[in-house]
């Protein structure tokens, strides 16, 4: 393969005519490529679901990409910027982002997932069989009709070792749209599994800053923390809060988080080693804390807070520490709680990826990405799938994720 060939491209277009914007975004993304795109991702932001669907069908019709996936979104990312739609502004212009990739020798297997009821449980069908050389899966889901949390959390059982990256489509109940090849669907999930000789790496920026010490969970049941370090969990939390600065106390009051260490045997627990979840309830009578995930006795935890500064530092450090070699293109799934809501502008996350070549993506209603080798659904994060050039590496290995 020619190392100098252009393998990735991205496009972004806005305007009241979503179909025209889709055509322009696809043109921008595919024009610089040295050949036919293997994968085209299209993300459409618009107030009218029917117009979103029409734009998606137009994008797929004019594209000659071998595989196309995408979804509706509250905002889109491409051409070095983010564009977020204001739900309160009925005159908001629509926007379409497109991202295209040539992946020589890769095997792309698109899929559509449905949920069926079998006796007293739900069964997800449509996932392709795993192969030994699978590298990564891109997953886009409708949050209203698909059990995305349960599916992603249990993905290791049916997709062992396969990182999943993606996000939840934008739109209210019945308004989300998902695209795969020549189909537009209103429920379930879609995506593509990429296998073969592909150099790819997943990154996840959770944007949280630790406060207080590491503590061992000494009593817990499901998502309820009863004791930390042998004392009531609420008591340990109050000790931590008492030692904070005034600014940190304000951040904790706005949204306290807890990080659960993913590897109890690690000598040190550093950035990226915690699964960050919210503290969602307090019981003053028992001193228990309710958190946004199951926590087991014996696990290590640390309280956290999230703010723009912490999110900025976290993403910057993640990108700075990235060591898989030169990145030629990347997909970015950024929480719709970031952008203007967190940073005062829509371009923060994509600007942090300036050295990642052609970047495209969307603002998601929830992000999908692995932490310490296990797939999870997140909030307020930036989930990234970065592609490099295996021919540019001495060892030629394929990276699966952190």
Q: Is residue 400 part of a domain?
A: no
- pLDDT confidence of 322, banded at 50, 70, 90? confident
Q: Is residue 220 part of a domain?
A: yes
- pLDDT confidence of 286, banded at 50, 70, 90? very high
> Quick one: 132 and 43 in the same domain?
yes
Spatial distance between the Cα atoms of 366 and 362, rounded to a whole number of angstroms: 11
Residue 357: domain span: 8-205+311-392
> Quick one: 197 and 316 in the same domain?
yes
φ, ψ dihedrals at 264, nearest 5°: -70, -15
- pLDDT confidence of 296, banded at 50, 70, 90? very high
- pLDDT confidence of 394, banded at 50, 70, 90? very low
Of 348, 333, 338, 311, nearest to 383 by C-alpha is: 333
> Quick one: 266 and 327 in the same domain?
no
- pLDDT confidence of 39, banded at 50, 70, 90? very high
pLDDT > 70 fraction of the chain, expressed in percent and rounded: 91
> Quick one: 121 and 44 in the same domain?
yes
- pLDDT confidence of 397, banded at 50, 70, 90? very low
Residues 342-381 have pLDDT tens digits of 999 999 999 999 999 999 999 999 999 999 889 999 999 9
Q: Is residue 2 part of a domain?
A: no
CATH of residue 233's domain is: 2.40.30
φ, ψ dihedrals at 50, nearest 5°: -70, -40
> Quick one: 125 and 223 in the same domain?
no
Which of 305, 323, 339 is the last residue before a domain boundary? Answer: 305
- Please, what is the average pLDDT of the chain? 90
- pLDDT value of position 254: 80
> Quick one: 387 and 264 in the same domain?
no
Q: Is residue 402 part of a domain?
A: no
- pLDDT value of position 401: 39
Q: What is the mean pLDDT of residues 379-388?
A: 94
Element containing residue 351 per DSSP (H, E): helix 348-352
> Quick one: 131 and 218 in the same domain?
no
Which of 253, 285, 305 is the last residue before a domain boundary? Answer: 305
Whether pLDDT at 395 is above 70: no
Q: Let me know: does 338 contact 362? Beta carbons within 8 Å.
A: no
- pLDDT confidence of 272, banded at 50, 70, 90? low
Q: Is residue 14 part of a domain?
A: yes
Spatial distance between the Cα atoms of 207 and 188, rounded to a whole number of angstroms: 29
Question: Which of the two residues, 326 and 232, has the higher pLDDT score?
Answer: 232
Q: Is residue 345 part of a domain?
A: yes
pLDDT > 90 fraction of the chain, expressed in percent and rounded: 72
- pLDDT value of position 2: 54
> Quick one: 316 and 285 in the same domain?
no
- pLDDT confidence of 266, banded at 50, 70, 90? low
> Quick one: 292 and 251 in the same domain?
yes
Helices (H), 18-175: 18-30, 49-62, 148-153, 155-158
Which of 252, 270, 305 is the last residue before a domain boundary? Answer: 305
**218-to-52, 73, 222, 272, 298 alpha-carbon distances in Å:** 50, 42, 13, 23, 6
Angle at 59 between CA 57 and CA 65, to 5 degrees: 115
> Quick one: 183 and 330 in the same domain?
yes
Whether pLDDT at 268 is above 70: no
Q: What is the mean pLDDT of residues 18-46?
A: 97
Q: Is residue 182 part of a domain?
A: yes
- pLDDT value of position 317: 86
- pLDDT confidence of 323, banded at 50, 70, 90? low
> Quick one: 20 and 128 in the same domain?
yes
Residues 41-81 have pLDDT tens digits of 999 999 999 999 999 999 999 999 999 999 999 999 999 99
Q: Is residue 86 part of a domain?
A: yes
> Quick one: 280 and 189 in the same domain?
no
Whether pLDDT at 333 is above 50: yes
User: Which tokens is 79 given?
Assistant: 């051409």
Number of domains in the chain: 2
- pLDDT value of position 118: 77
- pLDDT value of position 398: 37
Of the listed ranges 10-14, 117-121, 268-272, 282-286, the one predicted with least confidence: 268-272
pTM, entire model: 0.90
């Amino acid at each position: 393969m020619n190392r100098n060939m252009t393998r990735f491209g991205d496009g972004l277009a806005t305007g009241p005519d979503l179909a025209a914007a889709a055509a322009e975004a696809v043109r921008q993304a595919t024009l610089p490529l040295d050949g036919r795109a293997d994968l085209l991702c299209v993300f459409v932001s618009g107030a009218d679901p029917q117009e979103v669907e029409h734009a998606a069908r137009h994008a797929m019709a004019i594209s000659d990409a071998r595989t196309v996936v995408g979804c509706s979104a509250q905002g889109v990312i491409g051409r070095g910027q983010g564009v977020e739609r204001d739900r309160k502004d009925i005159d908001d212009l629509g926007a379409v982002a497109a991202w295209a990739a040539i992946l020589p020798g890769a095997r792309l297997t698109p899929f559509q997932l449905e949920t069926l009821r079998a006796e007293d449980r739900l069964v997800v069908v449509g996932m392709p069989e795993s192969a030994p050389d699978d590298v990564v899966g891109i997953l886009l889901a409708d949050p209203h009709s698909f059990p995305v949390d349960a599916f992603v959390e249990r993905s290791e059982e049916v997709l062992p070792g396969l990182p999943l990256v993606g996000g939840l489509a934008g739109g209210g109940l019945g308004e989300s749209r998902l695209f795969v090849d020549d189909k537009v669907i209103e429920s379930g999930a879609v995506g593509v599994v990429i296998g073969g000789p592909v150099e790819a790496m997943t990154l996840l920026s959770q944007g949280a800053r630790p406060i207080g010490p590491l503590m061992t969970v000494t009593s817990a049941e499901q998502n309820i923390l009863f004791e930390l370090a042998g004392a009531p969990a609420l008591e340990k939390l109050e000790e931590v809060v008492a030692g904070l600065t005034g600014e940190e106390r304000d951040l904790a009051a706005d949204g306290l988080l807890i990080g659960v260490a993913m590897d109890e045997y690690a000598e040190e627990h550093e950035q990226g080693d915690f699964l960050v979840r919210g503290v969602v309830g307090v019981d003053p009578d028992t001193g228990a804390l309710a958190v946004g995930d199951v926590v087991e006795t014996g696990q290590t935890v640390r309280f956290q807070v999230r703010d723009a500064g912490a999110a900025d530092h976290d993403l910057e450090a993640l990108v700075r520490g990235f060591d898989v070699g030169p990145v030629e293109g990347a997909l970015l799934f950024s929480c719709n709680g970031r952008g203007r809501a967190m940073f005062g502008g829509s371009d923060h996350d994509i600007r942090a990826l300036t050295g990642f070549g052609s970047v495209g993506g969307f603002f998601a209603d929830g992000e999908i990405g692995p932490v310490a080798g296990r797939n999870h659904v997140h909030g307020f994060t930036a989930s990234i799938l970065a592609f490099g050039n295996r021919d540019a590496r001495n060892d030629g290995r394929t990276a699966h994720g952190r």
